Amino acid sequence: SSPDTEGVTPELEKAGLLNKTKIAEGGRKLRKNWNLSWVVLVGNSLVFFKDPKSQNPDSWKPGNSRPESSVDLRGAQLQWANDLSSRKNVFKLRTVTGNEFLLQSETESLIREWYRTIQNVIDRLDKE
Ligand code: I3S
């Protein structure tokens, strides 16, 4: 049986490296600053790490490494955003609090898979 006897550890949906920039905070536009980020989709959250040591499937577990930031996906919106960057394969994630991020990969199949998986989580939360 699983050590998570209380059933409180959320499910790891996906993890990987993506280029990331925050473009708005609380609706206020920010200057872009693209960085490679280790992105972990777990439970209702998208968690960002900048430490390369975090690049393992257990990095999101409490105490294993410190995230740079975390995004609550409840009520969030995704849209393809090739108009917002000269980079290809870019989508925008907007949180209910008006924080906006661009996420990008050179690999189209990879960014499509991220889009699909995050959208599935958003849809699941919408139905709750
Ligand atoms: O949408 P923008 O403002 O053209 O984004 C570019 C700039 O933020 C640029 O930095 P400066 O603030 O020093 O101009 C970045 O280096 C670029 O990467 C941004 O554009 P892309 O197309 O890469 O998202």
Ligand 1, residue 90: give the atom nearest the CA: 24
Q: How far is CA 97 from CA 6, 11, 75, 78, 102, in A?
A: 30, 24, 9, 14, 16
pLDDT for 105 beyond 50: yes
Whether 87 is in the pocket of ligand 1, judged by its Cβ within 6 Å, is yes
Q: Which carries the bigger pLDDT value, residue 35 or residue 57?
A: 35
How much is the average pLDDT of 24-33?
97
pTM confidence score: 0.88
19, 21, 32, 85, best to mutate for ligand 1 pocket (most atoms within 8 Å of CB): 32
Distance CA(15)–CA(102), nearest Å, equals 17
Q: Which carries the bigger pLDDT value, residue 44 or residue 6?
A: 44
Whether 88 is in the pocket of ligand 1, judged by its Cβ within 6 Å, is no
Count how many Cα atoms sit within 13 Å of the Cα of residue 9 in the half-sphere of its side chain. Answer: 9
Specify the pLDDT at position 1: 45
CA of 86 to the centre of ligand 1 (A): 8
Highest mean pLDDT among 28-32, 45-49, 65-69: 28-32
Specify the pLDDT at position 97: 97
Q: Which carries the bigger pLDDT value, residue 56 or residue 117?
A: 117
pLDDT for 58 beyond 90: no
pLDDT for 3 beyond 60: no
Query: 36, 34, 38, 37: which is closest to 15 by C-alpha?
Result: 38
